[in-house]
Amino acid sequence: MVENTAKRQRRTAVWYITALIITLCTIYPFLWMVSTSFKPMVDIYARPLNLIPRGANIENYQQVLETVPFSLYFRNSLLLAVSGVLTNVFLGALAGYGFAKIRFTGRKVLFGILLSSMMIPGIVTMVPQFVVLRKFPFVGGNDRQGAGGTGFINSFMAIILPGAVGTYAVFFMKQFFETLPDDLAEAARIDGCSELRIFWNVYLPLITPAAITLGIMTFQAGWNDHCGGGIAWRKMQLDYKNTPANAPAAILAFRLYQRFGDEDDLHWGEKIARWQMENLVDKDTHYVHDGMNRRGDGKIDVSWQFAYNQGVVIGMLVEQYRITRDRAYLETALKVAEDSRQRFFGQHGGAMPYEGEDDVGLFRSIFFRYLDQLSIELPEQGWLAELPVINATMIVERGMDEKGRIGGSWIMHPGEKIDLAQQACGVTVLEMAVRATEQLDK
Per-residue pLDDT tens digits of the chain, which is 442 residues long: 556 777 888 889 999 999 999 999 999 889 888 888 888 766 776 656 677 877 778 888 877 777 677 788 888 889 999 999 999 999 999 999 999 999 899 999 999 999 999 898 877 888 888 888 888 999 888 898 888 888 888 888 888 998 899 999 999 999 999 999 999 999 999 999 999 999 999 999 999 999 999 999 999 998 887 665 556 665 555 567 888 888 999 999 999 999 999 999 999 999 999 999 999 999 999 999 998 887 667 788 787 788 889 999 999 999 999 999 999 999 999 999 999 999 998 777 788 888 877 788 889 999 999 999 999 999 999 999 999 999 999 999 988 888 889 988 888 878 777 888 888 999 999 999 999 998 888 7
Report the C-alpha gap between 279 and 157 in whole angstroms. 38
Collapsed DSSP state (helix, strand, coil) of residue 289: coil
The pLDDT of residue 38 is 87
Collapsed DSSP state (helix, strand, coil) of residue 163: coil
The pLDDT of residue 98 is 94
Q: What are phi and psi of 300, to 5 degrees?
A: -80, 145
**Amino acid at residue number 421:** A
153 and 161 Cβ atoms separated by less than 8 Å? no
The pLDDT of residue 233 is 62
How many Cβ atoms from other residues are within 10 Å of residue 187's Cβ? 13
The pLDDT of residue 230 is 55
The pLDDT of residue 235 is 54
- Say whether pTM exceeds 0.75: no
- Among residues 288, 294, 283, which one has the least CA distance to residue 308? 288
Question: Does the bond joining 248 to the residue before it have cis omega, within 30 degrees of 0?
Answer: no
DSSP state of 242: E
DSSP 12-29: HHHHHHHHHHHHHHHHHH
128 and 239 Cβ atoms separated by less than 8 Å? no
